[in-house]
C-alpha cells in the first residue's frame, strides 16, 4: 500500500476518526511493538481527548519481550492501560475484553446507579497503516458481524461487529498518519514495513539498521552474517556482509544496493530475532550509541 500523506488527507483522516469517536465508549489504539512511539500518530492525544483508551501493542511476537514489558509500564505510568498482543495468531485478545471492562467500570457503575440498563460496550480501533488493524478486526470477527447499518438511504452506515456478549466493535478502523518528517522515525517506520522503502533511500535505511544493530544487538549482527568482529569502517562492514551473503556484481565486487536490500529484508523478516527500535524514551538517553 502506498502512503502519501498530504495535509488534505491528514485533515480528512482526522475528521473521519473524530466523527466515529462520537459513537464509541472506548478507543483501541493499535501501535507496533517494535516502535510503540514511532508508530503513533503525533496528534493522537488531541484527537482522542478525554475518550477512554486502551493501547494495544501489536506484533509483540516481532519485538524484544523485555522491552515490550517496559513499554507497557511506560504507558501505564502515563495513565493509559496497555496490552501486548499478536493479532496475527490471536494471542492476548481475551484480555482486551477484560481490561476494557475495568477501564469503563466507573462509567458503567454510574449508569447502573442511575437505573440505566448496561448495554454492550462500543469500541473502535485506530492506528497508522500496516499496524494490524484489519488483522485484529478479522480475528475478533469470527462469525459475529452484526449487519445493523444497512438502512436504505444511509449511504455510509456504520456496521458493528459483536465481540463476545459485552462488546461491539466498529467494522472499519480509524486510519491515522505516522509522523515521518523526523528522519529517525522514518527509518524505523521503513524497517518495520509501515512505509514504503521508496519514500526513503534504501542504503540510508540499511545503514540505520546496521548502526542500530551494532549499538544494541551486536552479537545478533555478527551471528547473522558470520562475522568475527564488526569492522569500524562502514564500507568494510557492507563488503564483509556482501561477501558472506553473495550480493556481488560481476567481477566479485560487492553490490551495495543488493546488500542494502538484503539487510532491510533480514530486519523485516525477523532474521535478527525480535527487535525493538524505539528505545530512546525507555533508556532515557543513558545509552551511548557507538559511532
Ramachandran area for residue 203 (φ above 0: left; ψ -120 to 50: alpha; else beta): alpha
**Whether the Cβ atoms of residue 144 and residue 192 lie closer than 8 Å to each other:** no
| Residues shown for the chain | 291
> CB of 134: closest distance to ligand GDP in angstroms?
3
Among 36, 84, 129, 242, the residue binding ligand GDP under the rule CB under 6 A is 129
Q: Is 135 assigned a ligand-binding role in the annotation? A: yes
> CB of 110: closest distance to ligand GDP in angstroms?
34
87 near ligand GDP (CB under 6 A): yes
95 near ligand GDP (CB under 6 A): no
183 near ligand GDP (CB under 6 A): no
SS3 42: coil
Among 37, 55, 62, 190, the residue binding ligand GDP under the rule CB under 6 A is 62
Among 131, 169, 170, 221, the residue binding ligand GDP under the rule CB under 6 A is 131
User: Could you tell me the CA-to-CA distances from 8 to 11, 12, 95, 177, 269 in Å, in that order?
Assistant: 5, 6, 37, 12, 34
Q: Within a 13 Å sphere around the CA of 23, how many CA atoms are in the beta-carbon half?
A: 19
Among 38, 39, 41, 58, the residue binding ligand GDP under the rule CB under 6 A is 58
Among 41, 68, 100, 135, the residue binding ligand GDP under the rule CB under 6 A is 135
Q: Is 134 assigned a ligand-binding role in the annotation? A: yes
Q: What is the DSSP string of 182-216?
A: SHHHHHHHHHTTSS-GGGS-HHHHHHHHHHHHHHH
Find the part of the chain contacting ligand GDP (CB under 6 A) among 37-45, 55-63, 214-222, 243-251: 55-63
> CB of 51: closest distance to ligand GDP in angstroms?
20
d(CA 50, CA 21): 11
* Site residues for ligand GDP per CB under 6 A: 58-59, 61-62, 86-88, 127, 129-135
Amino acid at each position: 500500500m502506498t502512503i502519501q500523506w498530504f495535509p488534505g488527507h491528514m485533515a480528512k483522516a482526522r475528521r473521519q476518526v473524530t466523527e466515529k469517536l462520537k459513537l464509541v465508549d472506548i478507543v483501541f489504539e493499535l501501535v507496533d511493538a517494535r516502535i510503540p512511539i514511532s508508530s503513533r500518530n503525533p496528534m493522537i492525544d488531541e484527537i482522542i481527548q478525554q475518550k477512554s483508551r486502551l493501547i494495544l501493542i501489536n506484533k509483540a511476537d516481532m519485538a524484544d519481550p523485555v522491552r515490550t514489558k517496559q513499554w507497557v509500564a511506560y504507558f501505564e505510568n502515563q495513565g493509559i492501560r496497555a496490552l501486548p498482543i499478536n493479532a496475527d495468531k490471536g494471542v492476548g485478545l481475551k484480555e482486551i475484553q477484560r481490561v476494557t471492562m475495568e477501564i469503563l467500570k466507573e462509567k458503567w457503575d454510574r449508569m447502573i446507579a442511575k437505573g440505566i440498563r448496561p448495554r454492550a460496550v462500543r469500541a473502535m480501533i485506530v492506528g497508522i497503516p500496516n499496524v494490524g488493524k484489519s488483522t485484529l478486526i478479522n480475528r475478533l470477527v469470527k462469525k459475529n458481524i452484526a449487519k445493523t447499518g444497512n438502512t436504505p438511504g444511509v449511504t455510509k452506515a456504520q456496521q458493528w461487529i459483536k465481540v463476545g456478549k459485552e462488546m461491539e466493535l466498529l467494522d472499519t478502523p480509524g486510519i491515522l498518519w505516522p509522523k515521518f518528517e523526523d528522519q529517525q522515525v522514518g527509518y524505523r517506520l521503513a524497517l518495520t514495513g509501515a512505509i514504503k522503502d521508496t519514500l526513503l533511500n534504501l542504503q540510508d535505511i540499511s545503514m540505520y539498521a546496521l548502526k542500530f544493530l551494532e549499538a544494541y544487538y551486536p552479537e545478533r549482527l555478527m551471528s547473522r552474517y558470520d562475522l568475527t568482529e564488526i569492522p569500524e569502517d562502514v564500507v568494510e562492514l557492507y563488503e564483509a556482509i556482501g561477501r558472506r551473503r553473495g550480493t556481488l556484481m560481476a567481477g566479485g565486487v560487492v553490490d551495495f544496493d543488493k546488500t542494502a536490500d538484503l539487510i532491510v529484508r533480514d530486519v523485516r523478516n525477523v532474521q535478527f530475532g525480535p527487535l525493538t527500535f524505539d528505545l530512546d524514551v525507555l533508556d532515557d538517553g543513558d545509552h551511548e550509541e557507538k559511532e
